[in-house]
Amino acid sequence: MLKVIKNRIEQGHRTSKYPKEPIQLYHRFRGMPKVVKDCPAELVGRCADACPQEAIDRKTRQIDLGRCVFCGLCETLSEGKFVHFSQDFEMGTSCREDLLTLGDLPALAEHSKKHFKKLFGRSLQLRQISAGGCNACEADTNVLNTPFFDLQRFGIQFVASPRHADGIHVTGPISKNMRAAVLSTFEAVPSPKVVIASGACSISGGPFYGSEDVVGDLNSLIPVDLYIPGCPPHPLTTLHALLNYFK
């Protein structure tokens, strides 16, 4: 018992003040990429050729956050002269097209569907479906339940049964062997329901794009309401997206 109390005192109170107070992530963290619009075309071309995810459009110079895995190669190659990564982790969007970006996104809070805010603003229950990814997306979603993030204080919970859920949160490129399970889990959720695609995999196939063994895009199976980019999305990216979209 004494040990329980001693540990309790040592651990103290660790819950983050975000979103009331901003959080600064370490400067090596790769958040929202910022494009230098007027850099030489040759540099853009070199980065576009080298990008493993084919995420760079050489004409518009936009980066597709739905394909990008934030590997940092374009920043290194261009020495920051074409792309540099900011520590801004707020990257959720409600439109697939908005993920094609030069470094700015429309404010998510204004874009969200009004009736979702009314329905789920005070209480949101999500069923997570893991469908063929690498499990890092799941791990960094799970982390939201730890004391530092303490997701439940916002009235958001991940639940065991789809019957208890208001929507699904999907990770992974939807392996063919999970296609049926994704669809039946979605069907088991009572309407109205939301669909969240989390991570490059569920948005575009992520690292596994082009594989015959995956569907590669959740939107082609079920219309997606909220996109959370990253590989994996930082827990704060997910937290920000959930709070702004539903609150």
Partner 1 sequence: MDNFLQVQNNQRVARADIPDLPFEVFREALLSLAHQGGQVVQFFAYEDRGQNRLLAVMRTDKLYVTGCEVAETYLSLTADSTKFHLFEREIGEQYGIQAEGHPWWKMVRYHPNYAGGTDVFENDYQQEIPGNYPYFTVEGKTVHEVAVGPVHAGIIEPGHFRFQCLGERVFHLEIQLGYQHRGVERLFQTVSANRLPIIAETIAGDTTIGHSLCQSQAIESLAGLTVNKGAKVVRTIALELERIANHIGDLGALSLDVAFNPPAAYFGRIRGEYLNLTQILGGNRFGRGLVRPGGVTQILGEEQEQLISAKLAELTPEVEHVNDLIFSSPTVLARFDQTGTVSHADAEAIGLVGYAGRACGLSYDARVAFPTECYADLPRNKNERTDGDVCSRGTVRREEIRHSTQMINTLLPKRQEEPSVLPQEWQLAPDSFVVSINEAWRGEVSHCILTDAAGKIQRYKVKDPSFHNWTGLALSLRDEGISDFPLCNKSFNLSYCGFDL
Name the residues that contact ligand SF4, by CB under 6 A. 51-53, 55-56, 63, 68-74, 133-134, 136-137, 171-172, 199-201, 206-207, 231-232
User: Which of ligand SF4, partner 1, none lies near 63, with the C-beta cut-off 5 to 8 A by kind?
Assistant: ligand SF4
Which residues, other chains included, contact 66 with Cβ-Cβ below 8 Å and sequence gap of 6+? 96, 99, 100, 200, 203, 204, 227, 229
Closer residue to ligand SF4 (CB): 78 or 116: 78
What distance in Å separates the CA atoms of residue 124 and residue 105, rounded to the nearest whole number? 24
Q: Give Cα 55 distance to the centre of its chain.
A: 16
The distance of closest approach from Cβ of residue 117 to ligand SF4 in the complex, given in angstroms and rounded to an integer, is 27
Judged by CB under 8 A, how many residues of this single chain contact partner 1?
Answer: 68
User: Which of ligand SF4, partner 1, none lies near 243, with the C-beta cut-off 5 to 8 A by kind?
Assistant: none
The distance of closest approach from Cβ of residue 5 to ligand SF4 in the complex, given in angstroms and rounded to an integer, is 39
Closer residue to partner 1 (CB): 33 or 112: 33
* 8 A C-beta contact, residue 238 and residue 202: no
Closer residue to ligand SF4 (CB): 55 or 126: 55
**Which of 33, 53, 90, 124 touches partner 1 by CB under 8 A?**
53
**Which of 33, 66, 172, 229 touches partner 1 by CB under 8 A?**
172
Which residues, other chains included, contact 5 with Cβ-Cβ below 8 Å and sequence gap of 6+? none
What distance in Å separates the CA atoms of residue 1 and residue 27, rounded to the nearest whole number? 41
- Is 33 an interacting residue with respect to partner 1 (CB under 8 A)? no
The residues in 185-244 that bind partner 1, with binding defined as CB under 8 A, are 185, 206-208, 210-214, 231-232, 234
Q: Which stretch binds partner 1 (CB under 8 A): 37-45, 58-66, 70-78, 98-106?
A: 70-78
The distance of closest approach from Cβ of residue 198 to ligand SF4 in the complex, given in angstroms and rounded to an integer, is 7
| Contact set with partner 1 (CB under 8 A) | 3-4, 6-8, 10-11, 14, 25-26, 28-30, 50-53, 69-73, 76-77, 85, 128-143, 145-148, 158, 160-161, 172-173, 175-178, 180-181, 185, 206-208, 210-214, 231-232, 234
